[in-house]
Structure 1
Amino acid sequence: MKKFSSLFLVSLLSGATTLGAYKLFIENDGFLSENKKTIVTSAPPSFSKNVGLGAETVDFTAAADNAVHTVVHVKNVTYRTINNPMLEYYYGYKGGQQQAQVGTGSGVIISEDGYIVTNNHVIQNASELEVTLNNKDTYKAKLIGTDSKMDIALLKIDAGKKLPYAAFGDSDGVKVGEWVLAVGNPYNLTSTVTAGIVSAKARNLDQKGIQSFIQTDAAVNPGNSGGALVNTRGELIGINTMITSMTGSYVGYSFAVPSNITRKIIEDIMEYGNVQRAILGVEGGELNAAVSKELGVDRSSGFYVNNVTKNSGAQKAGLAKGDIIIKLDETNVTSFADLSGVVNTKRPNDVLKVTYIRNGKAWVVPVTLSKNEFSSYEFNGMKLEDISPADAKKYNLNYGVKIKEVENDYNDFLKGSIILKIDNEKIENVESASEILNKKQENRAMKIELINKNGQLERYILQTR
């Protein structure tokens, strides 16, 4: 009886399975029937973005084709005199042999009439500048102006025809993870294109905190400096500037000056002859967990105001020590690089909408930016100012400060000279001169290296007072 029950149960299950299979695959709209219905599944709207797509699914060809025609090869020729000390000692021979040193880099055409943006370090100390286009045409280039702080320089060539040029994109709108192309001439390999993503924004590699780079993992090597960083639409979003490497070659990260900052610099140079640098008028530092704990604040991000510059736009707007700036216009501020990145795109008298936290409450105020107070500086009876583009061209310089005025007749012979070094420290501009001179103790001698009004290099020992 037990055996019979088992056989009956097996038969029943077999029959049910057969009937189910018939219903599913054959009868009416079953999978194998002629009247079958198809079921289509679709992702919800939130999955409609190109999330997770590899490089092979993104078309780089149009962007690359546009960019290579706007990127040029820049050759910097510098001449130096090689002296023979033996001839000088025995025969009083004062002549020397001219020796040419050649450096190379990249540049980007930004207008059809031949304006080209590159890095300051690419053309530094150049006696001659030569630009070669993608079609192999070569032209002599003229230096229009530089900004050594942001490592940007503007050149001009006269090609006698309309040139292809790069369209500026909005670097503020660039997203971390976005695909980008680096175009340049590494190791003299012209028209080289590499791809990567934006690794980070607002990177600062300078101790003064004024720089705000786009970081990318697109391969950049020596010779790429001054070349283009473009998005997949071919828009210029940065000027490739540097790599961090212990070998001197690419090891994974490269950095570019954002296009919005670059654009502002070159517009200043073309319109004013120099960079119009504005300041917000606050001093302080970025917050993190350790700093917040030390200061006793309950936020771990933002810019903590430790001091407000007298008579600055920030003071006039009511900002005070202890405020935490969290936004400038529509840009969130989590670091000093975020703050300086926005301010570097503005000019004196521009207005920024500043959002800050005070006593746990958010406030928004308009702040009119001030002119950089370091346009001139007085020390020891001398008034110093940044060198003009005319002086830079006349003496073939891209650094130094000019002695504009002297109070006493004893040092009047220094008036009009350009200071290059103080106690062997290179003087880039008035700001760096003020930092060095403010550290000097009274009644101490200091060594100054300068170029006089006749273009001769001289060295003096001056006594501070």
Structure 2
Amino acid sequence: MATFAKPESLAPLAEQISPSVVNITTSTMVEGRTGPQGMVPEGSPFEDFFREFQDRNNGDGNRPRRSSALGSGFVISEDGFVVTNNHVIDGADEITIEFFSGEELKAEVIGTDPNTDIALLKVETDEPLPFVTFGDSNTARVGDWVIAMGNPLGQGFSVSAGIVSARNRALSGTYDDYIQTDAAINRGNSGGPLFNMDGNVIGVNTAILSPNGGSIGIGFSMASNVVTRVVDQLKEFGETRRGWLGVRIQDVTEDIAEGLGLEEAKGALITDVPEGPAKEAGLETGDVILSFDGVDVADTRGLVRQVGNSAVGATVRVTVQRDGKSQTIKVVLGRREEADGAIPAAQQNAPDEPEAPATATMMGLTLTPLTDAIREELGADADMSGLAVTEVDEASEAFEKGLRVGDIITEAGQQKVASISDLEGRVKAAKDAGRKSLLLLVRRAGDPRFVALTLPE
């Protein structure tokens, strides 16, 4: 059995990189509080005691007070650029950088990116500062040794060691790509670097998974290959400039792939195309994006990250499957930050309504065509056509896959449906084509998604 030796000591490496790691102290003015909120539950018998204690110590409880917070960071250039987490400095009036030598300097914010929780700071100094460089996080393997440095729990400079526990972790953000490590990371370590054994930064320590607020060996560092792109843009523009395709998408599941006649459950299924680059280029709802700019699309997460990493204004080739055939469409990317918050304007033209809407039950759903009254009740656009779900059998596949009363089915088999007979025609066509399931486009509060339901016998 092969044995693997670890280094005699990490001290030489720690000594080499320590001068580039900094402690960050922020100062913020916050409104005073009239009572002991957050100290004891409201109505507690101790409430009066804590209020008296607070008044004795603070005088006027309503007076604004200065609050401090601690974090970590690291220097990335000799002229004083410093990287940390956005949440470390968010809302701060004053930021102080403390160096390993004990020297302190005031810092200004160059730019922030809440999406990746990264902030770029700058200190002014006449002397060149010791700095560290970013490594390639894609080369980090599970089992590689790593070192985390920072200011845990405000205790000052500290080093901890461990290994890469997992790669490509997603927590909650659109652009997440975290390295998981068992190197001890605690509060105050936020914004500090995660080093490989070459002394290069492969991650920015951002979060921990913990039931008690302390390290239990599950820490997360934002991968350096994400951070470097953000830092470069913050340095150049003071803000991020991510590519924007302009589609709503969802993953292709096995049953959706069967419903679309795809050989594999991969790609990104377009559920909506509001005004934007994709619509101008001719992408459509129901298209499955198979590749973007020459790179195969495995799922929505991969596509979103790749689009975001693309240059604004770039012309890219997007290969989609439409109606069983593959085609490539050129799209000129917009800018994501300009599109955020915009209300998608994707409306459909409704045919004339039948005078007496019929109701039918199929696939566990009770359905009725939309009327003006139902549209108003569900908050749907006045010209939307489709079938409203009025009941869902809780024992059905439809309920299991998340369909609920109030949902609106606007397409079946990638064709618009405005009546019960339209849906029955789609069911028959799918059966005749040998399909086992039918793909439905379902809208809830305007948000679309595809759901594949097994066809009735």
Equivalent position of 1:148 in the other structure: 114
1:204 aligns with 2:154: no
1:276 aligns with 2:241: yes
1:319-398 matches, within 5 Å, as 319-328=283-292, 333-352=297-316, 354=318, 367-372=331-336, 373-374=338-339, 377=342
8 Å CA contact 1:67–1:183 kept in 2: the answer is no
* Paired residue type of 1:348: V
Equivalent position of 1:190 in the other structure: 157
1:156-194 deviation per Cα after TM superposition (whole angstroms, max 9, x unaligned): 112321111121223344444444332222122413232
Equivalent position of 2:68 in the other structure: 102
Equivalent position of 2:215 in the other structure: 250
SS of residue in 2 equivalent to 1:56:
coil
Cα gap change, 1:331 to 1:191, in 2 (>3 Å): farther
The aligned length equals: 324
Equivalent position of 1:415 in the other structure: none
TM-score by length of 1: 0.59
User: Structure 1: how far apart are the matches of 2:34 and 2:174?
Assistant: 44
Which segment drifts farther, 72-81 or 172-181?
A: 172-181
Runs of 5+ consecutive residues of structure 1 not aligned to the other structure: 1-50, 87-92, 380-437, 441-465
User: Structure 1: how far apart are the matches of 2:131 and 2:272?
Assistant: 44
Equivalent position of 1:112 in the other structure: 78
Percent identity over the alignment?
33
Q: 1:285 aligns with which of 239, 250, 267?
A: 250
Once the two structures are TM-superposed, the CA of residue 146 in structure 1 deviates from its matched residue by: 1.4
1:261 aligns with 2:211: no
SS of residue in 1 equivalent to 2:120:
strand
User: Structure 2: how far apart are the matches of 1:176 and 1:144?
Assistant: 34
SS of residue in 2 equivalent to 1:112:
coil
User: Structure 1: how far apart are the matches of 2:11 and 2:295?
Assistant: 32
Q: 2:17 aligns with which of 61, 64, 67?
A: 67
User: Structure 1: how far apart are the matches of 2:3 and 2:11?
Assistant: 17
1:31-180 matches, within 5 Å, as 54=4, 56=6, 63-82=13-32, 96-180=62-146
Cα gap change, 1:235 to 1:271, in 2 (>3 Å): same
User: Structure 1: how far apart are the matches of 2:139 and 2:284?
Assistant: 30
Equivalent position of 1:447 in the other structure: none
1:414-425 matches, within 5 Å, as none
* Paired residue type of 2:21: V
User: Structure 2: how far apart are the matches of 1:291 and 1:52?
Assistant: 46
Which segment drifts farther, 285-294 or 109-118?
A: 285-294
Equivalent position of 2:263 in the other structure: 298
SS of residue in 1 equivalent to 2:28:
strand
Once the two structures are TM-superposed, the CA of residue 356 in structure 1 deviates from its matched residue by: 5.5
Cα gap change, 1:224 to 1:337, in 2 (>3 Å): farther
Once the two structures are TM-superposed, the CA of residue 84 in structure 1 deviates from its matched residue by: 5.9
* Paired residue type of 1:68: S
SS of residue in 1 equivalent to 2:6:
helix
Which segment drifts farther, 106-115 or 232-241?
A: 232-241
Cα gap change, 1:53 to 1:338, in 2 (>3 Å): farther
SS of residue in 1 equivalent to 2:266:
coil
Cα gap change, 1:134 to 1:241, in 2 (>3 Å): same
1:323-382 deviation per Cα after TM superposition (whole angstroms, max 9, x unaligned): 444555576543333223333333312355656566777776665421124267589xxx
Cα gap change, 1:300 to 1:179, in 2 (>3 Å): farther
Once the two structures are TM-superposed, the CA of residue 115 in structure 1 deviates from its matched residue by: 0.9
* Paired residue type of 1:218: A
SS of residue in 2 equivalent to 1:153:
strand
Once the two structures are TM-superposed, the CA of residue 137 in structure 1 deviates from its matched residue by: 1.4
Cα gap change, 1:278 to 1:84, in 2 (>3 Å): same
Once the two structures are TM-superposed, the CA of residue 268 in structure 1 deviates from its matched residue by: 2.2
1:235 aligns with 2:200: yes
User: Structure 2: how far apart are the matches of 1:229 and 1:55?
Assistant: 21
SS of residue in 1 equivalent to 2:214:
coil
8 Å CA contact 2:150–2:189 kept in 1: the answer is yes
User: Structure 1: how far apart are the matches of 2:240 and 2:99?
Assistant: 28
* Paired residue type of 2:148: A
SS of residue in 1 equivalent to 2:339:
helix
8 Å CA contact 2:174–2:305 kept in 1: the answer is no
TM-score by length of 2: 0.60
8 Å CA contact 1:62–1:233 kept in 2: the answer is no
Once the two structures are TM-superposed, the CA of residue 116 in structure 1 deviates from its matched residue by: 0.6
1:444-463 matches, within 5 Å, as none
User: Structure 1: how far apart are the matches of 2:182 and 2:5?
Assistant: 13
8 Å CA contact 1:212–1:257 kept in 2: the answer is yes
* Paired residue type of 2:304: S
1:383-414 deviation per Cα after TM superposition (whole angstroms, max 9, x unaligned): xxxxxxxxxxxxxxxxxxxxxxxxxxxxxxxx
Runs of 5+ consecutive residues of structure 2 not aligned to the other structure: 36-50, 52-58, 345-443, 447-457
